Amino acid sequence: MVDKDGLVVLSDRPLNAETPAYLLDADVTPYEHMFVRMNGLVPQSALDADATGWTLTIDGEVDKPLELSIDDLKSRFENVTRALVVECGGNGRAYFNPGSSGNQWTMGAVGCPEWTGVRLRDVLAEAGVRNSAVYTGHYGNDVHLSGDTEKDVISRGVPIEKAMAEDGVIAWAMNGQEIPALHGFPLRLVIPGYPASVSQKYLTRITIRDREHDGAKMTGDSYRLPAYPVAPGTEVPEEDMVVMTEMPVKSLVTFPRTGTEVASGSPTEVRGHAWAGDGDVAAMHVSVDFGQTWQEAQLDPPPNRFAWQRWRANITLPQAGYYEVWARATDQKGISQPVTTPGWNPRGYGNNMQHRIALIAT
């Protein structure tokens, strides 16, 4: 952790740390500002940066199971580099009431580094996905907190259609360098748009299932939402919980830092990023009067699909005093971020409420 800068540590075993919004201003999130979510312990191979003999197995509902070295991946498939948002499904959990167990992420379990690797779909196509394929199941070599090497720390998956979409990457580099130990050295999945729990770090195996995957943290209420709206605090029966898929539309104010003093009566730039689980964001608005009026922000197109999009607005605070900037992104379907927590759920997932910062006008 010593080489991360300004993150807030939520727990140290397993290691979980989030990033204050003002440290997420860069278009491409640097290593030192990328949040960390470990469900278990960083494997020794990653700590030693030792990828000797590393292989990725593709098996299950495929015609031709594969065992690929990292060199095989690099040489046999087209290499791609893209900025992709990685956001924990529990980002925003701290704001639900009643609260729930798990890391009390505020807004900072998200980042958008640049990933280099090969398309997940190209590798699966090479293995020949059978018609019986329904879901993927992902495995890594990190170590369960109990130390029991038979136990999987986390093994999640996605519907086969999502796996065969253009966007998912099997990556060996983050921001042009070997993936750092905390982020999945030497190989990880990055499947954008879904909760980042599907983006397996320390990736060793992808097995194609003929049913919804039932690996560690796929069942029960892990990364699941009630199939229907429930009152806060409801105990939802397990059979009524469904797997989370697309993440909701969201945005952050990354500049200025909350609490900053600005001059009244003259324009001040505010800016940040916006993203959505199923593609581009359509519009961005800001309010400096607690949501009574909204001003449209300038919104840049993403450098590639599933990268976050830069937005900026010039605001003018009429007189000295206390203000808040509220930020609201709207997706392609016309769905906007709610002002307060959306659908309460037992484990506090999918909170895309508007981010707000305070400004003091002088």
Name the nearest CA neighbour of 361 among 292, 277, 262: 262
Q: Tell me: does residue 36 bind ligand MTE (CB under 6 A).
A: yes
For the chain, what's the residue count? Answer: 362
Q: Tell me: does residue 163 bind Mo ion (CB under 5 A).
A: no
- Write down the least CB distance from residue 156 to Mo ion, Å: 10
- Give whichever of 197 and 330 is closer to Mo ion, judged by the CB atom: 197
**C-alpha–C-alpha distance, residues 132 and 339, integer Å:** 43
* Residue 172 backbone class (left: φ over 0; alpha: ψ -120 to 50; beta: rest): alpha
Among 22, 54, 202, 306, binds ligand MTE (CB under 6 A): 202
Among 154, 191, 357, 361, binds ligand MTE (CB under 6 A): 154
Among 38, 118, 206, 225, binds ligand MTE (CB under 6 A): 38
Among 4, 22, 29, 35, binds ligand MTE (CB under 6 A): 35
154 binds, among Mo ion, ligand MTE, none (CB under 5 to 8 A by kind): ligand MTE
- Write down the least CB distance from residue 336 to ligand MTE, Å: 24
Q: Tell me: does residue 168 bind ligand MTE (CB under 6 A).
A: no
Three-state SS for the chain is CCCCCCCEEEEECCEEEECCHHHHCCCCCCHHHCCEECCCECCHHHHCCCCCCCEEEEEECECCCEEEEHHHHHHHCCEEEEECCEECCCCCHHHCCCCCCCCCCCCCCEECCEEEEEEHHHHHHHHCECCCCCEEEEEECCECCCCCCCCCCCCCCCEHHHHCCCCCEEEEEECCEECCHHHCCCCEEECCCCCHHHCCCCEEEEEEECCCCCCCCCCCCCCEEECCCCCCCCCCCHHHEEECCCCCCEEEEEECCCCEEECCCCCEEEEEEEEECCECEEEEEEECCCCCCCEECEECCCCCCCCCEEEEEEECCCCCEEEEEEEEEEECCCCECCCCCCCCCCCCCCCCCCEEEEEEEC
Q: How many CB atoms lie within 10 A of CB 37?
A: 25
Q: Tell me: does residue 88 bind Mo ion (CB under 5 A).
A: yes
- Give whichever of 186 and 256 is closer to ligand MTE, judged by the CB atom: 186
Which part of the chain contacts ligand MTE (CB under 6 A), choosing from 20-28, 35-43, 73-81, 127-135? 35-43
- Write down the least CB distance from residue 207 to ligand MTE, Å: 15
Beta bridge partners of 171: 117, 188
Q: Tell me: does residue 183 bind Mo ion (CB under 5 A).
A: no
Sign of the alpha-carbon torsion through 343, 344, 347, 353: positive
- Write down the least CB distance from residue 222 to ligand MTE, Å: 9
Among 196, 218, 243, 249, binds ligand MTE (CB under 6 A): 196
- Give whichever of 7 and 288 is closer to Mo ion, judged by the CB atom: 7
- Write down the least CB distance from residue 165 to Mo ion, Å: 20
Task: State the maximum Cα–Cα separation within the chain, in Å, rounded to a whole number.
Answer: 69
- Write down the least CB distance from residue 330 to Mo ion, Å: 25
Q: Tell me: does residue 40 bind ligand MTE (CB under 6 A).
A: yes
Among 21, 23, 34, 84, binds ligand MTE (CB under 6 A): 34
Among 29, 116, 175, 197, binds Mo ion (CB under 5 A): 197
Footprint of ligand MTE on 171-190 (CB under 6 A): 183
Among 93, 201, 271, 273, binds ligand MTE (CB under 6 A): 201
- Write down the least CB distance from residue 196 to ligand MTE, Å: 4
Q: Tell me: does residue 37 bind Mo ion (CB under 5 A).
A: yes
Q: Tell me: does residue 86 bind ligand MTE (CB under 6 A).
A: yes
Q: Tell me: does residue 142 bind ligand MTE (CB under 6 A).
A: yes
State the residues that interact with ligand MTE by CB under 6 A.
Answer: 34-40, 86, 88, 140, 142, 153-154, 183, 196-197, 199-202
State the residues that interact with Mo ion by CB under 5 A.
Answer: 37, 88, 197
